[in-house]
A = this chain, B = another copy of it.
Amino acid sequence: MTTLDEARAMDAGDALAPLRARFAAPEGLIYLDGNSLGMLPADSVAASADMVTRQWGERLIRSWNEGWIDAPARIGGLIAPLIGAATDEVIACDSTSVNLFKLIVAGLREAGRRDPKRRVVVSEAGNFPTDLHIAAGAVGCVAGAELRVVPRDGVAEALGDDTALLLLTHVHYKSGARFDMAAWTARAQAAGALMLWDLSHSAGAVAVDLNGAGADLAVGCGYKYLNGGPGAPAFLFVTARWQAELANPLSGWMGHAAPFGFADGYVPADGIERWLTGTPPMLAMGALEAGLRLWQGADLTAVEAKSAALFDILLAAGTRAGLECVTPRDPAARGSHISFRHPEAHAIVQALIARDIVGDFRAPDVARFGLTPLTLSHEAVWRAGEALVDVIATGAWDRAEYRARAAVT
């Protein structure tokens, strides 16, 4: 059990502490939801104002030649070092869902071209819903393809000579459990399948090494740990090994080899730009770029170590409150959030929100708390832990207004 003095001592020795001042944190709020929507970097206020007032308002259409047209690849290049990718293997565009569709269809086609038996996408039951929903839509777009959703402990044996693609979310959105990227990539590839990782809960949360693991494909989210703003553009990764082979089914003009040649026929761009589709939403791209600037030079080993310390503080409190922690204890086996199961998890989260401690409820029974090392002090997490203990011990959660569900829970 950590004491307040110990938490403060940890803050005093925290190499990442100076980064906290670079966020516009609301006074008095303890925000344990940076894994759902990252906080606002202070620099993003000026960057967004510049995007609106100068780049859009003054420069207008000329801005396309003054930085906009290259933004998706440039921003991809800022994400690359956070996920163990080369600069020209990552591009920022569309939503995670749309990018999943592109890569699942492309992967299915490529696998089928090499071996027509390979028609199955394997994924995990309880994966983040959009992964399964999009995969179901994508298999409907490739003749003969099929989605096989199996329990987590059945994934390995579900791989076979009909598998085209293994789709896994690296860090589970609910439990926080992390797959061993290298081991699972090797397992998928040994079975003859392509490996597609969803990094939504791991990019910026843990040290990711796609190329170290030899991964084929990946997608991820810009608005969580990357602090890119609500609904920020997502990203996708295609290993250099596959870039010439794989084709984007959402073959829009921005992925064309010469978008401003205005030819009727589609010719894909040579590199990662072929994964673009429509015109990028520049206001959202600008905020994502500003958020990523904060990450430049960040030591992901230090980020992981601080995440582990924050986890221990909240785990001790939750345990004291009698809550069941569903997140693995081994730091290498988890991401950067902690989840507790409780039948009244929704009301508990609401009672904490009423005390300005913002976590997340995830249906049906999980209280989830994001541990974002760039924005949280050890003391803040300690205070959240004390509040959690108090809310449970006093039954403060037990109010009808805390049970009532809003549109977004």
A contact set with B: CB distance below 8 Å: 24, 26, 29, 31, 33, 36-37, 39-40, 44-45, 48-49, 52-53, 55-58, 60-65, 68-70, 94-98, 101, 105, 125-130, 132-134, 136-137, 140-143, 149, 174, 223, 229-234, 248-254, 256, 259-266, 277-285, 287, 353, 358, 360, 362-363, 406-409
CB contacts (< 8 Å) of A95 on chain B: these are 94, 252, 277-279, 281
Contact indicator B137/A278 (Cβ below 8 Å) = no
Contact indicator B408/A278 (Cβ below 8 Å) = no
Contact indicator A60/B39 (Cβ below 8 Å) = yes
Find A62's partner among B105, B251, B358 (CB 8 Å cutoff): B358
How far in angstroms is the closest Cβ of chain B from A31? 6
Find A232's partner among B126, B128, B281, B363 (CB 8 Å cutoff): B281
Contact indicator A260/B407 (Cβ below 8 Å) = yes
Contact indicator B98/A407 (Cβ below 8 Å) = no
| Known A132-B264, A140-B249, A251-B133: A57·B45 in contact at CB below 8 Å | yes
Find A129's partner among B39, B234, B263 (CB 8 Å cutoff): B263
In the complex, A174→B251 CA distance in Å? 21
In the complex, A363→B281 CA distance in Å? 24
How far in angstroms is the closest Cβ of chain B from A322? 25
| Known A141-B105, A363-B262: A283·B48 in contact at CB below 8 Å | yes
Contact indicator B69/A264 (Cβ below 8 Å) = no
CB contacts (< 8 Å) of A60 on chain B: these are 26, 29, 31, 33, 37, 39-40, 358
The 8 closest A-B pairs by CB, nearest first: A95-B278, A97-B252, A97-B278, A40-B57, A141-B141, A130-B253, A137-B251, A230-B282
CB contacts (< 8 Å) of A33 on chain B: these are 60-61
How far in angstroms is the closest Cβ of chain B from A164? 16
How far in angstroms is the closest Cβ of chain B from A294? 14
In the complex, A162→B277 CA distance in Å? 28
